[in-house]
Structure 1
C-alpha cells in the first residue's frame, strides 16, 4: 500500500484530542507529534488497557487474602502506557492511508505529514522495548503468558478490513491483562481470571462499539468494518447485552475468588455506571459517544475500589 501524500500540517493539533490537553500545552513542538502518536494527549486508552490488569491484581489479592501488590500495580500502569503507545503507533503506520481519508483522523501525525513512517517505526520499537523491560520484572510464568498476546496485537489493525467484529479482536488484546495480574500474584492460571478475561472482552466490545459510532459514516464510505456499522440502530440493545454479560461474568470471577460484600458492592456500582452510560448515550452524536466512551475510566475505578476494599478487610 502506498502512502497518501499529504501537505505537512504545521498546526500541531490532532482533531480528536481533548482541547487544552497536557501534550498540546506543555510538550515541545519537536516532540509533540511523537506524544500524539503514543496518544498521550488521549490517556483514556491506556486506562482501558490497564483496568483488566489492575482488576486482576486486586482479584488475586482477594483470593490470597492480602493487600494488592503496589509494585505490580505500578508496573502495569507503566506497561499499559507504553504498550498502548506502541500499539497505537503500529496502528497508525498500517492505517495511514485510511486515516488520511477520515475527517476525525486526518490530522494525526503520519497522515498530516509531521512524522514519517520510518521515524514512527523506530518510535514504536522504542516503546516496545520499554514494555519488554516491564514484563521482565515479573515471574517467569507471567512473562510467558504476556507473550501470548503478541499475535493478537499484531492482527488487530487488520481486523477492520476483513470482519464486522474488529472490536472483538481488540477485546482479546486489551483484556489480556486479566490473566497477568493474577499470574503475577498466584503464579498460575485459574477460572477466576478466565471469567475476568472473557468479561473484559465483552466490556471492550461494548465501549468500543460506542466509540466507533463517531466514524460510522466515513467508515461506510471507505469500506472499514465495525460493530457500530454492524449493529446500526440496534447498538444500544447490543451494547446493553455485552455490558450485562460483563457484569455476570465478573460476578462469577468474584465468587470463584471468594470475594465478600465490598467486592460485590464495587461490581454493583460498576453495573449501574454502565447502565447509565447506555441510557444517556446518543449514537447519532459523536460528542455523546466520546463522552460515554471516556466515562469507562470511572467505571474501572468503581470496580477496582470495591475489590481493593474487599482485599483489605477480608
Structure 2
C-alpha cells in the first residue's frame, strides 16, 4: 500500500472540500445555529445540535466539490483558482462526483438518524439547492441570492427538527440570510470581478456595477431590519438587540473597507462576516440563557 499516494490524495480532497478554509462552514453554520436555538427556545436537543453541525460541515464540503466541478473549465482562467485540484487535473471529474455523492449520503444518514419525517422531506430540496447553485452563475444575474437560500436551508430544517413544522418566522430568518449572503458574497465577488467579466460568469458585483457598495450596505440593512422584526415577534430581550447592534457596527466597519473597492480589503470584509454571524448567535444564546 502506497501511503504517500494515499496521503497526497487525502490532502487533495481536503483542498477540494475546502476543509482547510473553514470560513464557508462558519457562514453556513451561524444562521443554522440561530434557528436551532430559536426553534427550541434556547434549549435545543443535543442530537439536533450534533446533526446540524456535522451536516453543515458535510454539505458545505459537498457544495465546494460540486462548485469546482461546475467551474472546472472556468477556474483555469482565473489566477486565484487555476491551481484548484480539479481544475489542475490532480483530481478527476469522476472522483469529484463520487466524493460529492458520498458527502451527500453521509448528510442524509444524519437526517435519517433524527427520525423526523419533515426534516427528511426538506433534505431533498436542500441537496438540490446545494447541487444546482454553481450552475446559476451561467444565467442568473444575482446568483448570490440563490446561494443565500441554499446556505440558509438549514433554518427551516432546524425548526422542523424541533417543532415538526415550519412556522412563518423560519422563512423570515431564511430571508434575512438571503440578504446577508448577497452582502458578503458580493464583497467576495468584488475580488474576482475582472476575471468573472472575462470568462462570462454572472455575479452580483457585476450586476450592481458602480452601485455595488451601496447594494452591500442596503442588504446589510435589510438583514438587520428583518432580524429586528423577528426579535419583536418572538419578544426577545436586550441581549438579542445588543447582538444586532454589535453586528451593525461590524457591518459599518466593512463599509470603510469596501468603499475603495480594493481586492484584498473586499476579501477581508468577506472573511470578517464570521463575526457578524457570531455576534447574532451570541445575542440569541445570551437572551435565552438569562430569561
Structure 2 length-normalised TM: 0.93
Match of 1:113 in 2: 89
1:38 and 2:14 equivalent?
no
Measured in 1, the distance between the counterparts of 2:263 and 2:146 equals: 23
Per-residue CA shift, 1:163-220, capped at 9, x if unaligned? 2111111111111112122222222111211111101000000000000111100111
Q: How many residues align?
A: 285
Residues 1:77 and 2:53 are matched in the alignment: yes
Asked if the contact 2:40–2:162 (Cα under 8 Å) also holds between the matched residues in 1, the reply is yes
Q: Give how far 1:125 is off.
A: 1.2
The aligned runs of 1:49-60 (5 Å cut-off) are: 49-60=28-39
Secondary structure (helix, strand or coil) at the match of 1:96 reads coil
CA distance in 1, matches of 2:87, 2:178: 30
Rounded to whole Å, the distance in 1 between the matches of 2:45 and 2:248 is 26
- 1:166 corresponding residue in structure 2: 143
Tell me which residue corresponds to 1:5.
none
CA distance 1:137–1:251, change in 2 (3 Å)? farther
User: What is the distance in 2 between the residues matched to 1:82 and 1:306?
Assistant: 26
Aligned CA distance change for structure 1 residues 32 and 295 (closer, same or farther; 3 Å) = same
Q: Which residue of 1 aligns with 2:3?
A: none
Partner of 1:7: none
1:98 is matched with 74
Q: TM-score, normalised by structure 1?
A: 0.86
Higher helix proportion (structure 1 or 2): 2
The range that moved more, 141-150 or 42-51, is: 141-150
Q: Is the 8 A contact 1:68 1:308 kept in 2?
A: no
* CA pair 69-298 structure 1, distance change in 2 beyond 3 A: farther
- Higher mean displacement: 251-260 or 232-241: 251-260
Q: Structure 1 segments of 4 or more deviating over 3 A?
A: 68-71
2:200 is equivalent to residue 223 of structure 1: yes
Counterpart secondary structure, 1:265: helix
- The within-5 A match list for 1:108-147 is 108-138=84-114, 139-147=116-124
Deviates more, 1:183-192 or 1:196-205: 183-192
Give a deviation string over 1:17-56, Cα, whole Å, max 9, x none: xxxxxxxxxx942311100110111100111111121010
Counterpart check, 1:187 vs 2:164: yes
Output the aligned Cα RMSD. Answer: 1.6
Q: Aligned partners of 2:85, 2:150: CA distance in 1, in Å?
A: 24
Determine the C-alpha separation between the residues in 1 that align with 2:96 and 2:132. 18
CA distance in 1, matches of 2:46, 2:253: 31
Corresponding residue for 1:4?
A: none
In the TM superposition, residue 70 of structure 1 has moved relative to its aligned partner by: 3.6
Q: Contact 1:79–1:134 (CA<8 Å) still a contact in 2?
A: yes
Select between 112-121 and 140-149 the one with higher mean Cα deviation. Answer: 140-149
Does residue 243 of the first structure (1) align with residue 239 of the second (2)? no
- Which one is further off, 286-295 or 236-245? 286-295
The residue that corresponds to 1:202 in the other structure is: 179
Q: Which residue in the other structure is 1:10 paired with?
A: none
Q: Alignment partner for residue 153 of structure 2, among 146, 151, 176? A: 176
Superposed CA deviations along residues 123-161 of structure 1, whole A, max 9, x for unmatched, are: 111111111112223322222123222332232111111
CA contact (8 A) 1:210 1:283 kept: no
